[in-house]
Structure 1
Amino acid sequence: MTGPRVIPTWRHGRERLYVRLPDGRNIAWYDREASRVNLLREDHRDEVLHALGPFLTGQVTVGPPPVPTPAELARLSLHPDDDLAPNRPGEALLVDLDRDPGPAHLLRPDPRRRALEAEQTVGEALDRLDGAGWHALHSVPLPGGDRIHHLVIGPGGLFAVHALYARRQRVTVADPLVTLGRRDSRPLLRRVRADADRASYALTAEVRPVLALVGASEVALPAPPREVRVLTEQALPELARLGGVLKPADVEALHATARDRNTWTRV
């Protein structure tokens, strides 16, 4: 073969069709999802379009690759070990359970597994907001062994979300106390607000606290808690309806900052 050939590849879960010269040099790639042909060599434009002809569908933009934004440059320069974006919901608990699964004969379930179920349920709900212009980070590490369960960034602002397992229990929230069923009350809202304050300091932007209740049979709020939004897992999509706070460029810039582990080392 003397002309360019098309090589299909997958990058970050997206299909790309690279156009390569016989000597192995790439001269273009076609991003199906973006409907864009990115030319690395303008003088090979006709050859590229001829090679890609059988693969092109609908309206396609043809031109040089777009100039990366500052947020994209920051992401590209981030070392993989410092990138928090790949973290799974409950990442810290998954690692802990992998290292120490605990005895299998306990009469009561390991509380870590219940906490993991809560974080996974909430994390999956937040990840589904991605199509509405939101980004979710999970298990954001803080100094001292603390962590933010979930950080959500989108058009409606920034939220630090704390997931609480409450399966089949009545939850009473009387600021700052949270009571599950007949258990002793805990001043959990102080922790939720503290997480948001630390995130605000790290990102130099307002981060609002959210308590997400997973599986609660009933939620009692004698009075609205100060600053904290209390939601069940079914109500988390309400966040996607919030807007008017951040522009898309601001969302991307804050996400690029937040996903860097080094951002959180001094809060």
Structure 2
Amino acid sequence: MSRLRVTPAHGQGRDRLYVSLRDGTTVAWYDKDTGRVSVLSGAGREEVLSALAPYLTGEVTVGPPRVPTPADLDRLSLHPDDDLAPNRPGEALHAELDAVRAAGSDGSSGFSGSDGFSGSSGSSSSHGSLPRRRWRRWRQDPRQDPRQAELLAQETIGDRLDRLEDAGWRVLHSIPLPGAARIDHLAIGPAGVLAVRTLPAWKRRVGVADPLVRVGRAAPVPHLRWARRAAERASRALAADVRPVLAVVEPARLDALPMPPDVRILRDAEIPALASLGGVLKPADIESLYATARDRHSWLRV
């Protein structure tokens, strides 16, 4: 029995057949209109063609996903409301915490203003490291909204990723997906496309038992499954190979043995090392994918 399955999908003017593994991971798709089979990592060319054989008609082209040409990009004219490039790290959390502060300005909501975790600063105040005084205050005050620690974690990772721009990377933050889901960060650079999920640890032990991740004494959560799902949806939106990344912020200890083969797990301090990696995307490809990714409409049907 083949380990691949074929499912149809219609939308955005496209008629496609998606090829996926049994766990739902997309490894290829067939555009009926263009007669093109785009193959990602995770399955071989012959295996994909064998699965698609009953559905292929006429002449087909097989290869990696097509990257938009400069002519394609010239046709892109984004309305400010559709441009995701201005999004701050944790943009959605900023909005949620601003609403909490507005509704409970007397302090009953547990949201701290200038002396605590600011949800409306618009910039990363930690520059990759959470000030110990603010972290201790959050741990000691049960009224503090846990989203504040999540926001600081996203700002920390966002700041690290933004610093990769000098090495040829392009980064987007807080990408909204259909439903309530979001991609915390999307990094497009010489080493490929990364869908980054942020995990705040703040000096607690992190244990990974795929797909579950435990932080401190909290109950295990399927962060790796969610990271894979985000990368798969990004792959569909961009017609490109996207690798999932779990970025752990300041863990006291990180136990991940065996390391998941398909999800890259990084400490926040390891993100700058991405600047030395390459060999996957050329500068023109990076800009083309970034132009597609920053358009809100690219994410409406994934």
Query: TM-score if structure 1 supplies the norm length?
Result: 0.71
Matches within 5 A, 1:1-267: 69-70=70-71, 73-74=74-75, 77-101=77-101, 103-104=109-110, 107-267=142-302
> Aligned partners of 1:215 and 1:144: how far apart in 2?
30
> Aligned partners of 2:172 and 2:72: how far apart in 1?
16
Query: TM-score if structure 2 supplies the norm length?
Result: 0.63
**Contact 2:110–2:144 (Cα < 8 Å) also in 1:** no
In structure 2, do the counterparts of structure 1 residues 74 and 231 end up closer, same or farther at CA, with 3 Å as the change threshold?
farther
The 3-state SS of whatever aligns with 2:175 is strand
In structure 2, do the counterparts of structure 1 residues 74 and 91 end up closer, same or farther at CA, with 3 Å as the change threshold?
farther
Give the unaligned 5+ runs of structure 1.
Answer: 1-68
Q: Tell me which structure has the larger Cα radius of gyration.
A: 1
The 3-state SS of whatever aligns with 1:145 is coil
* Deviation, structure 1 residue 186: 1.3
Give per-residue Cα distances to partners, 1:53-111, cap 9 Å, x unaligned: xxxxxxxxxxxxxxxx4476356x11111000010111110011111235138624211
Give per-residue Cα distances to partners, 1:207-238, cap 9 Å, x unaligned: 00000001111101120113000001100112
> Aligned partners of 1:241 and 1:162: how far apart in 2?
21
Percent sequence identity over aligned pairs:
55
* Deviation, structure 1 residue 183: 1.5
Partner of 2:136: none
Which stretch shifts more, 215-224 or 192-201? 215-224
Aligned pair count reads 199
The 3-state SS of whatever aligns with 1:243 is coil
> Aligned partners of 1:124 and 1:70: how far apart in 2?
32
> Aligned partners of 1:169 and 1:104: how far apart in 2?
23
The 3-state SS of whatever aligns with 1:239 is helix
> Aligned partners of 1:125 and 1:131: how far apart in 2?
12
> Aligned partners of 1:74 and 1:80: how far apart in 2?
16
Give the unaligned 5+ runs of structure 2.
Answer: 1-69, 112-140
